[in-house]
Structure 1
Amino acid sequence: MFTYTPKGVCSKQMMFDVTEDDTIKSLRVIGGCPGNLEGLSRLIEGMAVDEVIAKLSGITCGKKSTSCPDQLTKALVEYKQGESTEIPDSVKAGMKLVESFLS
């Protein structure tokens, strides 16, 4: 799983998995509009990374010059360039604990 800190949007962190054939396996976003981001996550699951970048790049949100979908494309570009960082297992465990309290 790779993580990205978006800039200029309401979401605080994006985490995603990509398969060996460059297909989005999963997306998890912390912060932002929960319904919209859950919908986005479901829509891009199974899509090729390059297709997601092509379809979502440049989308804005209100008067902002970017959006969560646009920030996702920036995260995917970084992933492709090998600049993303993998989330340590200890952080993953802490995130699961927080999610269980929020559910």
Structure 2
Amino acid sequence: MHVYKTHGTCSREIHFDIVDNKVTNLTFIGGCAGNTLGLSKLVEGMSVDEVIKRLKGVDCKGKGTSCPDQLAKALEEAK
């Protein structure tokens, strides 16, 4: 299990596994429950590279980052 400490978002951590280059068991600690749960369900089973491509750079309220962007960064770090 990978654990990534987020920066600049309401969520505090992202937990996930990578199996055969696919994202599995994704959970966010903190953050907007509906959004992070929805995001987790959407990317489940998606390739790491596809998740990074789709989510990198997504901004939340002008913060320069977001939970999706933090997930992309976590996955890049895990690669």
Which residue number in structure 1 is paired with residue 67 of structure 2?
A: 68
- CA distance in 2 between partners of 1:25 and 1:14 (Å): 12
Q: Following TM superposition, where does structure 1 have runs of at least 4 consecutive aligned residues deviating by more than 4 angstroms? A: none
Which residue number in structure 2 is paired with residue 56 of structure 1?
A: 55
- CA distance in 2 between partners of 1:38 and 1:31 (Å): 11
1:25 Cα offset (Å) = 1.3
Which residue number in structure 2 is paired with residue 25 of structure 1?
A: 24
Structure 1: which 5+ residue stretches go unaligned? 81-103
Which residue number in structure 2 is paired with residue 14 of structure 1?
A: 14
Q: Percent sequence identity over matched residues?
A: 54
- CA distance in 2 between partners of 1:67 and 1:25 (Å): 20
Q: 3-state DSSP class of the match of 1:55?
A: helix
Structure having the larger proportion of residues in helix: 1
* Normalised TM-score (structure 2): 0.97
Q: Which has the larger radius of gyration?
A: 1
Q: 3-state DSSP class of the match of 1:60?
A: coil
Structure 2: which 5+ residue stretches go unaligned? none
RMSD (Å), alpha carbons: 0.5
* Normalised TM-score (structure 1): 0.75
Count residues in correspondence. 79
